[in-house]
Structure 1
Amino acid sequence: MTTIDFATETSRITSRPAVATRVANALLNAYQAWKNRRAFYRLGEMSDAELADIGLTRADLHVAIDVPFGADPTVKLRAIASDRADTIENLARQVA
């Protein structure tokens, strides 16, 4: 066996786990996005008062649902709620 034969064989061996890892990660991410989207739809069943308790409005749900299907709408909701909390905190500091 020459060095070139060994190098070619080694690259094939190491690329298989990398492909398997990428496929597994893609499946895991798709499952997580599906699970989070189901939780997102449960938020739509909440009343406006319950949404306000967690820092969201019904309009926030309409904004977050516009993300592509493979994307996670809960990430967008987290950003919206975080921005709102930061804005309220900054306004409270200005008043005090």
Structure 2
Amino acid sequence: MATFDFATETSRITSRPAIATRVVNTISNVYRAWKNRRAFYRLGEMSDAELADIGLTRADLHVAIEVPFGRDPTERLRVIAADRVDTIEDLARKVT
């Protein structure tokens, strides 16, 4: 067996697990996004007071749902809530 034949055969062997891993990761990400989207819709059933308790508003839900279907809207909510907390903390520091 020549060195060239071995190198070609090795790349085929090592690429198969990488492809399988990518497929499994993609399926896992889509499933997680679907599951989180179902939980996201339950947030819409909450009252405005309940949403305020967890640091969200109804408008935040409308902004977060605009992400494409394969993406997770709860990630967008986390960013919105974190930005709001940072803004409130910055304002509190300026007052004192």
TM category (shorter chain) comes to: over 0.9
Give secondary structure in 2 for the equivalent of 1:67.
Answer: coil
Q: Give, in whole Å, the separation in 1 of the partners of 2:55 and 2:43.
A: 12
Q: Give, in whole Å, the separation in 2 of the partners of 1:91 and 1:11.
A: 56
How big is the shift at 1:7? 1.1
Match of 2:6 in 1: 6
Match of 1:56 in 2: 56
Calculate the aligned-residue CA RMSD, in Å: 0.7
Q: Give, in whole Å, the separation in 2 of the partners of 1:18 and 1:58.
A: 42
How big is the shift at 1:6? 1.0
Q: Please list every run of 5 or more consecutive structure 1 residues that lacks an aligned counterpart in the other structure.
A: none
Q: Which runs of 4+ in 1 moved over 4 A?
A: none
Q: How does 1:40-79 map to 2 (within 5 A)?
A: 40-79=40-79
1:9-54 deviation line (CA, Å, top 9, x unaligned): 1111001001000000000110111111111101001111110000
Q: Please list every run of 5 or more consecutive structure 2 residues that lacks an aligned counterpart in the other structure.
A: none
Match of 2:23 in 1: 23
Q: Give, in whole Å, the separation in 2 of the partners of 1:62 and 1:78.
A: 14
Q: How many residue pairs end up in the alignment? A: 96
TM-score (norm 2): 0.96
TM-score (norm 1): 0.96
- Identical aligned pairs, as a percentage? 80
